[in-house]
A and B are shown apart, each in its own frame.
Chain A
Amino acid sequence: MGRYVARRFVSMIITLWFVITITFFLMHSIPGGPFSREKALPEKVLEALNEKYHLNDPLWKQYTDYLQGVVVLDFGPSFSRPGIFVWDKIQEGFPISAKVGGIASLFVIIAGIPAGVISALYQNKLPDYIVTVIATVGVAVPSFVVATLFIYVFSEKLMLVPAYGLEEIKSYIGPTIALAGFSLSFVARLSRSSLLEVMQQDYIRTARAKGLSELSVIFKHAIKNSLIPVITYMGPTIASILTGSFVVERIFAIPGMGKLFVESVGNRDYTMIMGTTIFYAAFAIIMIFLVDIAYGIIDPRIKLGD
């Protein structure tokens, strides 16, 4: 186990290095610079800015400097907001996104899996139809439509919840639904089909032949097996929910990572774009690692040793 973690850690670092390198060179190959504006800056000012941010250095030097910075979590200063550092902004935005995302992820797990299980157990009966219809709508309708509709109905018309910000507990309802909607629906569908497949397996027949009650057949023998594909999906999903959805954060005016990312793209804030991208990648890599560990716990056939 220890050796496995160590080996995975090395491969995670290498993956991250690839992400950093690709992001860095992609950003630098885009025509124009961070200070290109519709109204061109005076030559002198541009020169001074490039000098200040070391943009005149040879590319390989900029690259090695950047790598050295990343190692100590220094992602450089923001190009478009003087005096502000990328890492500070991430530290500011991530907890907010993570809080909303945490609630949404929890919602996905505690509502999505049971919905799928109920649906499978009542296959082709009313509860199944209800879940399937809602889940299909949930997968098909994009989050910004859900968010806008939510604000229109519950804030604008019924005035039950605030339309933006996170000042009150009630304010979390809208972003949670909008953020979780797609994944929740997907998890419900995935758990449904996975459980239905498991229920057809020979070992379920064996369990029934032992005279076990249908409840213990389902809860002991079927669900654990049916969760394996769901866990695969949950890792990257939780990573993406926790780091915030820029659309949802934008609509609800939540000052999280997603909003930060969208704004930095709009402002051509190169360091900020790279910083948020790398942060997201690192987070996703860690989540995938955690999923693999969870696999080893739930499925004894998967050996994490060698």
Chain B
Amino acid sequence: MGERILDVQNLYTSFYTHLGEVQAIRGVSFHLDKGEALGIVGESGSGKSVTSMSVMKLLQHPGKIKSGKIMFKGEDIVPKSSKEMMSIRGDQIAMIFQDPMTSLNPVYTVGNQIMEAMIKHQGLSKSEARKKAVEMLKLVGIPSPEDRVDNYPHEFSGGMRQRAMIAIALSCQPDLLIADEPTTALDVTIQAQILELLKELKDKVNTAIILITHDLGVVADVCSRIVVMYGGLIMEQGSAEDIFYEPKHPYTMGLIKSIPRLDLNERQRLVPIPGTPPDLLNPPVGCPFASRCPYAMQICANEAPKYYDINPGHHAACWLLDPEAPKVEVDTGVKRGGADA
């Protein structure tokens, strides 16, 4: 285990709307070591993006971190002023976003937008920054970067724009890169390329990555550890192996069963998870997944489950793991050594 880069402890984030407090994140804890890749998985509204925006401290009004600690390199950034955050953002923590088509400013050249962070954080001159920008474009695999550096975003394809976004994010060699659904808006072949690039750069730049996605297939490829979120809570957390081969939470099992697979019989359909995520304006008292869970018991609706350790680093919040609960065997169809999930 290397140096601890990020340690989020019992984070609560809420949006104070005129309808009331929307409790988007309700006590989330996870950590990340230097050079590690962590996947945060969950469906829309599970709180995964709010988690990342909390770490960036870029929550839009009326969002607010209510309590908890975000230890970044041993220092809590929650109490930091916006000015202190400006010197961290883009320099030590960087982020790439879901939609590369709209994430670049249309009226400035790609090079200009890559140079900005380096000029601001590393005090480079314009010509030095430009040189570095060309290098960055080359690093992320843009052909003839010397010419492309002067292109405007609309002259780039979607995949190239996401590469440019990665170049911006990595320009100052951040310790932590947050990738919020970086491949969702791209077509499948480009998705694979971008993931490959992220994997490759993670080692080259030695940056830790948080990969946020709703697609388990995406994290399987890149991440060594996985956090499964639902209803503003972490449902299950563990190594990628644990999550895929030994899922303990019915929600994780449901997610795995809903991935399209090549090794399934044609007759077997994908199994969706019925129902919709809970309303976080009035979050349920018990387990948020209880109303959709096929194994729900009386206690699930009345009391939130605690985390049960399955093995070191692998834990899940589910009453089924209680020694007194009935034993449930679920076959997700994913076998160790079988076809790749």
In Å, the complex CA distance between A205 and B90 comes to: 12
Cβ contact within 8 Å between B89 and A202: no
- In chain A between 192 and 224, which residues have their CB closer than 8 angstroms to a CB of chain B? 201-203, 205-214, 220-221, 224
Give chain B nearest CB distance to A65 CB in angstroms.
50
Q: Which of A23-31, A240-248, A293-301 contacts B (4 or more CB under 8 A)?
A: A293-301
Give chain B nearest CB distance to A227 CB in angstroms.
10
B residues in contact with A211, CB < 8 Å? 85-91, 117, 120-121
In Å, the complex CA distance between A205 and B99 comes to: 12
Q: Is A225 an interface residue (CB 8 A)?
A: yes
Q: Which of B101-109, B254-262, B294-302, B308-316 contacts A (4 or more CB under 8 A)?
A: B101-109
Q: Which of A201, A208, A212 has the most CB of B within 10 A?
A: A208
Query: For chain B, which range describes its interface: under 10, 10 to 19, 20 to 34, or 35 or more residues?
Result: 20 to 34
Cβ contact within 8 Å between A206 and B106: no
Give chain A nearest CB distance to B212 CB in angstroms.
14
Nearest CB to that of B82 among chain A residues?
Answer: A214
Query: Main SS of chain A's interface residues?
Result: helix
Cβ contact within 8 Å between B106 and A209: no
Cβ contact within 8 Å between B152 and A300: yes
Cβ contact within 8 Å between A225 and B152: no
Cβ contact within 8 Å between A205 and B89: no
A residues in contact with B169, CB < 8 Å? 209
Cβ contact within 8 Å between B120 and A205: no
Q: Is B31 an interface residue (CB 8 A)?
A: no
B residues in contact with A301, CB < 8 Å? 106, 152, 154
Q: Is B168 an interface residue (CB 8 A)?
A: yes
Cβ contact within 8 Å between A225 and B90: no
Q: Indicate which residue in B99, B106, B116 contacts A225 across the interface (CB closer than 8 Å).
A: B106
Q: Is B198 an interface residue (CB 8 A)?
A: no
Interface residues as binary, A111-123 with B (CB distance below 8 Å gives 1, 0 otherwise): 0000000000000
- In chain B between 66 and 91, which residues have their CB closer than 8 angstroms to a CB of chain A? 82, 85-91
Give chain A nearest CB distance to B49 CB in angstroms.
11
Nearest CB to that of A201 among chain B residues?
Answer: B102
In Å, the complex CA distance between A207 and B116 comes to: 9
- In chain B between 159 and 196, which residues have their CB closer than 8 angstroms to a CB of chain A? 165, 168-169
Q: Is B25 an interface residue (CB 8 A)?
A: no
Nearest CB to that of B152 among chain A residues?
Answer: A300
A residues in contact with B56, CB < 8 Å? 209
A residues in contact with B108, CB < 8 Å? 220-221
A residues in contact with B58, CB < 8 Å? 205, 208-209
In Å, the complex CA distance between A206 and B82 comes to: 16
Give chain B nearest CB distance to A203 CB in angstroms.
4
Q: Which of B86, B87, B105, B113 has the most CB of A within 10 A?
A: B105
Q: Indicate which residue in A206, A212, A298 contacts B107 across the interface (CB closer than 8 Å).
A: A298
- In chain A between 231 and 245, which residues have their CB closer than 8 angstroms to a CB of chain B? none
In Å, the complex CA distance between A273 and B56 comes to: 64
In Å, the complex CA distance between A220 and B107 comes to: 10
Give chain B nearest CB distance to A95 CB in angstroms.
37
- In chain A between 43 and 86, which residues have their CB closer than 8 angstroms to a CB of chain B? none
Knowing A211-B121, A212-B116, the reply to whether A206 touches B97 (Cβ < 8 A) is: yes
Cβ contact within 8 Å between B152 and A210: no
In Å, the complex CA distance between A299 and B154 comes to: 11
Nearest CB to that of B88 among chain A residues?
Answer: A211
Q: Is B94 an interface residue (CB 8 A)?
A: yes
In Å, the complex CA distance between A298 and B104 comes to: 16
B residues in contact with A224, CB < 8 Å? 107
Q: Indicate which residue in B89, B102, B120, B152 contacts A209 across the interface (CB closer than 8 Å).
A: B89
Give chain A nearest CB distance to B217 CB in angstroms.
25
Cβ contact within 8 Å between B94 and A209: yes
Give chain B nearest CB distance to A295 CB in angstroms.
11
A-B contact pairs, 22 of them (CB 8 A): A205-B97, A206-B105, A206-B113, A209-B90, A209-B94, A209-B95, A209-B97, A209-B169, A210-B89, A210-B116, A210-B117, A210-B120, A211-B87, A211-B89, A211-B91, A212-B116, A212-B120, A213-B86, A214-B82, A225-B107, A300-B152, A301-B152
Those 4 A-B pairs whose CB atoms lie nearest each other, nearest first: A211-B90, A210-B90, A211-B89, A202-B102
Binding site for B on A (CB under 8 A): 201-203, 205-214, 220-221, 224-225, 298-301
Beyond the given pairs A212-B116, A225-B105, 19 more chain A to chain B contacts, judged by CB atoms under 8 angstroms and listed by A's residue number, are A202-B97, A202-B102, A203-B102, A203-B105, A203-B106, A206-B104, A206-B105, A206-B113, A206-B165, A207-B105, A209-B95, A211-B89, A212-B86, A221-B108, A225-B107, A300-B106, A300-B107, A301-B106, A301-B152
Binding site for A on B (CB under 8 A): 56, 58, 82, 85-91, 94-95, 97, 99, 102-109, 113, 116-117, 120-121, 152, 154, 165, 168-169
